[in-house]
């Protein structure tokens, strides 16, 4: 079967790989000139298989005024005259209850652990460099009450295979000595020794390069879908444009993996998706000398109070944070980048040195999120269109498992994990 995968971010690239492994002919298209050039380019780089708590949480109700009106809130909401935003927000608030959050956590953990196993197998079969490391992760708390809540979450997740421990501040500093230089009074942290990190964009490009040796694979970069031609409830063909000109692409089946742009494509195909873009920012700090390298952490760090994550990628430090519901606003305000710089200087003084913001590869991307945080994987209302969307901030973490789940569905095989929670319209 010839399958056309729309989108060469981490979700689309891994989907293409699994479908190619199943013996399908695969065409992968993306509007950008390289694979992983969109939201996958500057994400937080953490592979957080055990830390999948959704954004929708009962605490949202008590923090809502802070999100709306506080200048230093890590979550920003700018109400717009956009029905899609309000529909998403209402469903999001409906998911902010304990029962739904616990069920979402269970579903995401199952997919995350499946994804971890799939990435391990893929990397063994197709070895290439993407700055991958298993260095563990510390989620750091300054608030003792927050640490008490974290202990409850760790106990809950332990029932479903998570191996984490709540530790005091002294033990945190033993694990990651670089935290000892932080101007912060730590209450403690949650330590997960098995967590990983890697360069998501580097992975996308490496995997596309590996697939290019297969005669059944074709990658069309800088290619934009301009029109969807429908016939009898199915996609007949796609009209595309690229520097080479216009082209019509037909296939037996299509996979929608366009991230935050998936909702617009779905509207062209005649149905709606429960997606909204959650904007985030990152910087990538070059660790140019031995002093900066020693100042930066080896373990992945999440500063829970400021919602900023830190991941070591060789002699680079990825710093990412913020969640903004502002539509598809591509601007990168100085304020957002300065927050990340200030965060890095506060936790790891000396890691940035005298580098200016422009030298830190400032980036903004749009995480495609469903209200509950559970992605949508599988058949769509269109006969020959499959979905692999809505992984939100966990796209890198969930990618390989999502791709394997989708490939099994398309191939008519029994899925390794229950796919019911991820079906469209669930």
Q: Which residues pair with 364 in a beta bridge?
A: 281
pTM value? 0.96
d(CA 190, CA 242): 48
pLDDT tens-digit series, residues 168-224 = 999 999 999 999 999 899 999 999 999 999 999 999 999 999 999 999 999 999 999
Short-list 20, 360, 354, 418, CA closest to 219: 20
CA atoms within 13 A on the CB side of 51: 27
d(CA 104, CA 302): 21
Residue with tokens 């950008």: 32
pLDDT tens-digit series, residues 298-342 = 999 999 989 999 999 999 999 999 999 988 999 999 999 999 999
DSSP state of 330: -
Handedness of CA 41, 132, 118, 164 (dihedral sign): negative
Mean pLDDT calculated for residue range 374-384? 98
Q: How many CB atoms lie within 10 A of CB 89?
A: 15
pLDDT score at 67: 64
Tokens in use for 263? 């909702």
Do 214 and 197 contact (CB within 8 A), yes or no? no
φ/ψ of 320, rounded to 5, equals: -140, 150
Mean pLDDT of the chain: 94
Tokens in use for 361? 């590869």
What the chain holds in terms of domains, given with CATH numbers, is 2-40+202-273+373-422 (3.50.50.60), 51-111+128-196+276-369 (3.30.9.10)
pLDDT tens-digit series, residues 52-97 = 988 888 877 776 666 655 666 667 777 777 888 899 999 998 999 9
Q: How many CB atoms lie within 10 A of CB 336?
A: 20
Mean pLDDT calculated for residue range 227-252? 96
d(CA 3, CA 79): 39
Q: Identify the weakest region by mean pLDDT among 63-77, 250-264, 370-384, 391-405.
A: 63-77
Rg (CA), the chain: 21
d(CA 241, CA 247): 6
């Amino acid at each position: 079967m010839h399958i056309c995968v729309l989108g060469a971010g981490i979700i689309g690239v891994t989907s293409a790989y699994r479908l190619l492994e199943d013996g399908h002919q695969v065409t992968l298209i993306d509007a950008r000139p390289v694979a992983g050039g969109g939201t996958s380019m500057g994400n937080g780089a953490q592979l957080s298989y055990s830390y999948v708590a959704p954004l929708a949480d009962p605490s949202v109700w008590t923090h809502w005024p802070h999100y709306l009106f506080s200048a230093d809130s890590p979550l920003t909401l700018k109400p717009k005259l956009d029905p899609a935003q309000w529909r998403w927000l209402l469903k999001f608030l409906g998911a902010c209850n304990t029962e739904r959050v616990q069920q979402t956590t269970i579903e995401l953990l199952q997919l995350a652990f499946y994804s971890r196993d799939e990435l391990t197998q893929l990397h063994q079969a197709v070895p290439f460099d993407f700055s991958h490391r298993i260095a563990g992760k510390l989620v750091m708390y300054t608030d003792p009450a927050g640490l008490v809540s974290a202990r409850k979450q760790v106990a809950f997740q332990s029932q479903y295979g998570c191996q984490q421990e709540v530790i005091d501040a002294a033990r945190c500093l033993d694990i990651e000595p670089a935290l000892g230089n932080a101007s912060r009074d730590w209450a403690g942290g949650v330590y997960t020794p098995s967590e990983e990190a890697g360069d998501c964009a580097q992975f996308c490009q490496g995997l596309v390069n590996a697939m290019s040796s297969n005669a059944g694979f074709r990658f069309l970069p800088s290619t934009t879908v301009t029109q969807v031609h429908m016939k009898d409830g199915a996609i007949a063909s796609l009209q595309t444009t690229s520097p080479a000109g216009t082209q019509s692409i037909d296939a037996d089946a299509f996979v929608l993996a366009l991230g935050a742009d998936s909702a617009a494509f779905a509207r062209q195909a005649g149905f709606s998706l429960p997606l909204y873009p959650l904007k985030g920012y990152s910087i990538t700090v070059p660790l140019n000398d031995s002093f900066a390298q020693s100042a930066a952490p080896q373990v992945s760090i999440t500063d829970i109070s400021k919602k900023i994550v830190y991941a070591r990628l060789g002699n680079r430090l990825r710093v990412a944070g913020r969640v903004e519901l502002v539509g598809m606003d591509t601007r990168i305000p100085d304020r957002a980048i300065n927050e990340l710089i200030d965060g890095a200087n506060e936790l790891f003084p000396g890691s940035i040195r005298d580098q200016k913001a422009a030298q830190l590869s400032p980036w903004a991307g749009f995480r495609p999120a469903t209200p509950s945080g559970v992605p949508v994987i599988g058949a769509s209302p269109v006969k020959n269109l499959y979905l692999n969307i809505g992984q939100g901030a966990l796209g890198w973490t969930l990618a390989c498992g999502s791709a394997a789940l989708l490939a099994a569905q398309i191939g008519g095989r029994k899925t390794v994990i229950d796919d019911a929670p991820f079906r469209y319209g669930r």
